[in-house]
Amino acid sequence: MSKNKKNSTIKSEQGRLFSVQNLLSLLLLVIVTSIAFSPSLSNQFTNWDDPTYVYENPMVMSEQTQWKQLFTEPVSLNYHPVTMLTLAWNYQRAEKADGKIDPYLFHLWNVVIHIFSVVLMFLFVFRLSRSNWFVSFFCAAIFALHPMHVESVSWISERKDVLYVLFFLLACITYLRFKEKESYVWLALTLLFFILSVLSKAVAVVLPVVWLLIDYYTARKIHLKQLLFKMPFFILSFYYGWKAYSIQSTEAIASSTSISLFQQFVFGSWGALMYIFKFFIPIKLSAFYPYPELVTSGNIPTEYYLGFIIWPLTAGAIYIGYRFYQPLLFGILFYFITIGLVLQFISVGSAIMADRYSYLPYLGLAYPIAHFLYDLYQKKATLKTPVYATTAAYFIFLSISTYARTQVWKDNISLWSDVINKYPTVEVAYKNRGNYYGKDLGKLDEAYKDYMVLKRMNSKDTKVYSNMGNVYGMRQQPDSAIWCYNKAIALDPNNEEAYINRGITYSMMKQFENAINDFNSAEKIKGLSLSILQNRAYTLLAAGRYSESAKDYQELIRLKPNDALTYYYSALAQEGSGNIALSKQHLQQAISLGYQVDEATRTRIIQK
């Protein structure tokens, strides 16, 4: 094709791209998507990763953007600095009141990024399908409205999902433009969006493989030159993939070593099949899908072997696609390329699958279906109305399902209650709901009920017993609290929180030496923290070990120079250790900072 003819073709496609039909379609998608996800804007934070990612993360909570830390330190066993950067920007601009942060801006960004990606999905498929409006609209609508995608959008911690897909789609669009125009400006943009996608979520390392798939689909062949041309991208993919694996392998992957290789293959196969099943029938959706309990013989329940069906089905689809129907070949390969890394062939964590993993891969399922429906009514015009009507009905069903599903993510109670209703043996659901009842709402009886369920399950999670001990402590049952902390420490001798809380409980029971030993043990685990200092200093004071207490309070004053209570207790410790001058000075400082000192203490110290 001559250059002039090629440019003419590109201009013609651009004209069709921005046709009235396309613009109205995009407007409809934006409006319906906005309505479907509107409940998200009033949702709260959850206690599932949101503390780690946002409101307990010093890098995010800093008033100044911590560029170096954000780009060098992993978070929750993931390296995604661009994601963390956007969360930090949200935090700096979010409304704050009474020490709490309003989650509205975080949810708004997730929804807006998702809507932008819906538009990009339409544009990408429009170019890929050679300006096929129906295929583009169908794929964009599936991406926009499928309830399996609610987890990616309505969960603040999944900012990484919506962000990586945004840049992933941009990289695919600019790659197609580069193939059309052969301009290095488009190549540079492709490289930029590729890097941004990988730095948003490491699973984007598969992007160069997707480009090869696009090459084959659009030209029916792959040249050696195309492979060599992409080598720098593959090198970057390997680097970031290895970086992500190195971060996760020490903890996340090691946590599932009890699962054999054969069992991993069974679970991976079952997951691949179940994602396809839930594409067509999105029922029993959950924030958590547990591994099955092994039957008495130690084998996997029989129904999980149905996952093996996926392989002959896939082989058949690839053969049919290769010989007769290229959209099917593209779709099935796109699905497995983009979902392959998160299938549990290498078990990571305690969930067998997750809704969020379908966010981009479902394009691979939607694309051949859309082409099939389009070809169906093109061959037989009388089928056009039934196809349109059935498709519209399905999208209405998806929209309603998504609207309802976003409300499940409203808060911790609705989220974890939904998991418990569907999977009553999921420990993390009881743990997180119980922790929210006790720590955040002060509903100790409700928290107690959840932790009693976990106790009956004989949970092996150290945090379960640590949290249970906190509930017993708030219920004024110190002996039961001590039992729980002992259990937590037995399960994990490095559970710093359990040592601190057991120390606090011992201190309240006036077993000061035991308390001090626990605070010292906690310090050995992770170093000296503010919590350890505060509790140990007070316990040393109560135990009459004034010199040691005074030393801790001096360090606390350095860390919290404007805390009146610290100065008051320091004055008492200095008095006990015989340093009257410093005692008077700290007492006066406490008074000047607003602490109401009782008259007897004031008179006793001042008159010395």
Query: Which residue do the tokens 């099939």 mark?
Result: 372
Between CA 161 and CA 204 the distance in angstroms is 10
Tell me the two tokens of residue 304. 């999980």
Which of 115-119, 463-467, 603-607 shows the lowest mean pLDDT across its residues?
603-607
Tell me the two tokens of residue 550. 């005074």
pLDDT, one tens digit per residue, over 501-527 is: 999 999 999 999 999 999 999 999 988
pLDDT, one tens digit per residue, over 168-192 is: 999 999 999 998 887 889 999 999 9
pLDDT, one tens digit per residue, over 248-266 is: 765 554 444 467 788 889 9
Between CA 503 and CA 534 the distance in angstroms is 12
- DSSP letter at 256 equals G
Band of residue 528 on the pLDDT scale cut at 50, 70, 90: confident
For 107, list phi and psi in degrees, rounded to 5. -65, -40
Band of residue 8 on the pLDDT scale cut at 50, 70, 90: very low
Instruction: Give yes or no for residue 164 having a pLDDT over 80.
Output: yes
Q: Which one is predicted more confidently, 229 or 357?
A: 357
**HEC letters along 79-118:** CCHHHHHHHHHHHHHCCEECCEECCHHHHHHHHHHHHHHH
pLDDT for res 250:
56
Query: Which residue do the tokens 């170096």 mark?
Result: 68
Residue type, 105: L
User: If we measure between CA atoms, which residue out of 571, 538, 572 comes closest to residue 552?
Assistant: 538
Band of residue 348 on the pLDDT scale cut at 50, 70, 90: low
Mean pLDDT of 354-370: 97
pLDDT for res 294:
66
Which residues 6+ apart lie within 8 Å of 408 measured at CB? 150, 287, 414, 415, 418
pLDDT for res 396:
97
Query: Residue 219 in contact with residue 343, Cβ under 8 Å?
Result: no
Query: Which residue do the tokens 């890394």 mark?
Result: 341
For 494, list phi and psi in degrees, rounded to 5. -105, 20
pLDDT for res 1:
46
Residues 47, 339, 329, CA angle at the centre, nearest 5°?
155
Other residues' Cβ atoms within 10 Å of the Cβ of residue 341: 18
Domains belonging to the chain, first-starting first, are 3-408 (no CATH), 539-608 (1.25.40.10)
Which of 14-28, 145-159, 324-338, 578-592 shows the lowest mean pLDDT across its residues?
14-28
- DSSP letter at 539 equals H
Residue 400's alpha-carbon distances to 37, 287, 404, 525, in angstroms, are 10, 18, 6, 50
pLDDT, one tens digit per residue, over 468-513 is: 999 899 889 999 999 999 999 999 999 999 999 999 999 999 999 9
Band of residue 415 on the pLDDT scale cut at 50, 70, 90: very high
pLDDT for res 254:
44
For 214, list phi and psi in degrees, rounded to 5. -65, -40
Between CA 489 and CA 496 the distance in angstroms is 9
Mean pLDDT of 260-280: 92
Which of 36-50, 68-82, 321-335, 373-387 shows the lowest mean pLDDT across its residues?
68-82
pLDDT for res 183:
84
User: If we measure between CA atoms, which residue out of 498, 545, 499 comes closest to residue 519?
Assistant: 499
pLDDT for res 260:
79
Between CA 241 and CA 216 the distance in angstroms is 24
pLDDT for res 349:
62
Instruction: Give yes or no for residue 379 having a pLDDT over 70.
Output: yes
Q: Which one is predicted more confidently, 167 or 256?
A: 167
pLDDT above 90 as % of the chain: 66
pLDDT, one tens digit per residue, over 113-158 is: 999 999 999 999 999 999 999 999 999 999 999 999 999 999 999 9
Which of 216-225, 288-297, 403-412, 551-560 shows the lowest mean pLDDT across its residues?
288-297
Band of residue 207 on the pLDDT scale cut at 50, 70, 90: very high
pLDDT for res 543:
95
Query: Which residue do the tokens 């309240």 mark?
Result: 508
pLDDT for res 9:
47
Between CA 589 and CA 573 the distance in angstroms is 15
Residues pairing with 97 in the sheet: 100
Complete DSSP assignment for 378-438: HH-GGGHHHHHHHHHHHHHHHHHHHHHHHHHTSSHHHHHHHHHHH-TT-HHHHHHHHHIII
Mean pLDDT of 340-345: 85
Residue type, 601: T
User: If we measure between CA atoms, which residue out of 545, 538, 547, 542 comes closest to residue 583?
Assistant: 547
CA 510, 511, 515, 517 torsion-angle sign = positive
pLDDT for res 73:
83
pLDDT, one tens digit per residue, over 224-245 is: 777 888 888 999 989 888 887 7
